[in-house]
Amino acid sequence: MGQAEHAWRHGFSRRQAIAGLGSFLAASPLLHAQRDPWPLGAHRRFMGFDEIRDVFDFEPLFRANVPLSIYDYSAHGTESEFTLYRNRDAFDWVQLVGGGGVAPADVDTSTELFGRAMPSPIMLAPTSRQRDLHPDGELGMHRAATTTSTTMIVSNASSFPFTRIAEEAEGPLWYQRYATRELDPNRAALDEGQEAGAQTIVVTIDQQATLYERDLHVRHLGGAPRQVRRRTPPNPPNPYRVGAGRLWYEWKLFDDLKPLCQVPMLAKGILTGEGAKMCLAHGVDGIIVSNHGGRSLDYGPSTLEVLQEIVEAVGGRVPVIIDSGFRRGTDVLKALALGANAVCLGRASRWGLGAFGEPGAQKVIEMINAELRQAMASVGAATLADINRTMVKTNFP
């Protein structure tokens, strides 16, 4: 066999060459054709606690510490995960305008919500089943929040009862509720939460029907992940494998819940100015702009994109809080400049808890607060009142 025949026999076929070109194009960071949910980081080893320099350093440690099914549950978004990625992309579409002239040590991040003083506008979003991340779960997260004087919103799908979490530390707690159609379970849950010291009630309305495609393609421990089984009940059966437990939500829900709340009631999951106005019409005391971290409706907007529209619709009548995708102090500053009163951390605090337990969660909060102070100094804002729309330039598509 000659040299040409040998090269032909052992070389690439046309199909292999085309497939290789397709893989090359799909993986190109310039085309964004395909995104690796777990890209190879700059490190070939895991970092120690004192080596961590930003919140992103916690994620690989969190992933290494927990079962893959738990990591996937925290990491994934709805369906194609378009909105999950858009939440992070949106921060690239907002530029900070430097002003300078303020030393970071002179920056004051204190604020007030519902008549209560807060040393920072950074809060902890409600996230479920934190004991899957670390044995201390919400107990450790609440201790970390108390140490940093951070307000924590407790999910009603938490690993521990709200009363147990409230007993663990002295810090402020808010209570999040997935409402039921029957009023009595809501009454019992809200009474218990308020008796235990909940300072507000947060009613989540954005996660009505959810499908996590990434979970459908993985098989942990010889079967479908626990989360897939739990989230696909036959009630009623439908071709989309989503439960219908919250598809009944309507604005009247707030009319029914308002008399049960002796503390402020907030709506979590608002993404339009029209929705914000409806909240006000039904007696809501505050709004959380949220797409559930990309885990609600796919192909929806990022929260940062719609924030200004909602702030304008509210017109200062109630506080506007935002979550979904926040990882840096500069992210927080951008939201504040667009009109938010406070910002909630979700996955970031979970990474810290899963990586190092309570100290990790505490360090995440401290790092983002330190980054916020540095960012405020860089744009010339000594207080939150100094932050305004002129400090950012937006280029939303």
Q: Average pLDDT, stretch 332-336?
A: 98
Q: What is the pTM of this model?
A: 0.84
69, 220 contact by CB (below 8 A):
yes
Give the pLDDT mean for 65-69.
92
Distance CA 281, CA 251 (A): 9
Summary count for the chain: helices (H), strands (E) = 16, 12
C-beta of residue 108 within 8 angstroms of C-beta of residue 184: no
> Which amino acid is it at 217?
H
Q: What are the C-alpha distances in Å from 146 to residues 176, 329, 370? A: 18, 20, 17
pLDDT digits (tens, 9 = 90+) for 34-55: 565 555 555 557 889 999 999 9
Residue 222 has pLDDT above 70, yes or no: no
Query: DSSP per residue over 196-234, as a string?
Result: TT-S-EEEE-S-SS---HHHHT--BTTB--HHHHHT---
Phi, then psi, of 60 in degrees rounded to 5:
-60, -30
Domains of the chain: 82-394 (3.20.20.70)
Pairing of strands 286-289, 265-270: parallel
Which two three-digit tokens encode residue 66? 């927990």
Read off the tokens for 87.
Answer: 């939440």
**Res 25 pLDDT > 90:** no
Contact 176, 147 (CB under 8 A): no
Provide the terminal-to-terminal Cα distance of the chain, rounded to the nearest Å. 59
Provide the pLDDT confidence category of residue 101 given band limits of 50, 70 and 90.
confident
**Percent of the chain at pLDDT exceeding 90:** 72
Name beta bridge partners: 267. Answer: 203, 287
- HSE (CB half, 13 Å, CA atoms) of 248? 10
Confidence of residue 18 (pLDDT cuts 50, 70, 90): confident
Which of 184, 135, 130, 183 shows the shortest CA–CA distance to 159?
Answer: 130
* 338 SS3 class: coil
- Closest by CA position to 376, among listed 392, 397, 396: 392
* Token pair 């010889």 in the structure block, residue: 222
CA distances from 202 to 52, 151, 266, 372 (A): 33, 13, 5, 25
Distance in angstroms (rounded) separating the CA atoms of residues 206 and 103: 40
pLDDT tens sequence across 224-274: 444 444 444 555 555 555 555 656 688 999 999 999 999 999 999 999 999
Q: How many CA atoms lie within 13 A of 105 on its CB side?
A: 0
Question: Do residues 313 and 345 make contact, with C-beta atoms less than 8 angstroms apart?
Answer: no
pLDDT band at 296 (very low <50, low <70, confident <90, very high): confident
Query: Does 2 score more than 90 pLDDT?
Result: no
Question: How is residue 17 written in tokens?
Answer: 């060459």
- pLDDT tens figures, 121-138: 999 999 999 999 999 999
Catalytic position from the list 76, 142, 282, 292: 292
Structure tokens at 46: 């895991």
Of 302, 354, 332, 316, residue with least CA distance to 159: 354
> In terms of residues, how long is the chain?
397
| 175 closest CA partner among 337, 183, 160, 184 | 160
What values do phi and psi take at 387, rounded to 5?
-75, 130
pLDDT confidence tier of residue 297, bands split at 50, 70 and 90: confident
> 10 an active-site residue?
no
The region of weakest confidence among 16-20, 202-206, 310-314, 383-387 is: 16-20
Report how far residue 319's alpha carbon sits from residue 287's, in angstroms, rounded to the nearest whole number.
Answer: 6
State how far the Cα of 183 lies from the Cα of 203, in Å rounded to an integer. Answer: 14
Asked whether the predicted pLDDT for residue 392 surpasses 70, the reply is: yes
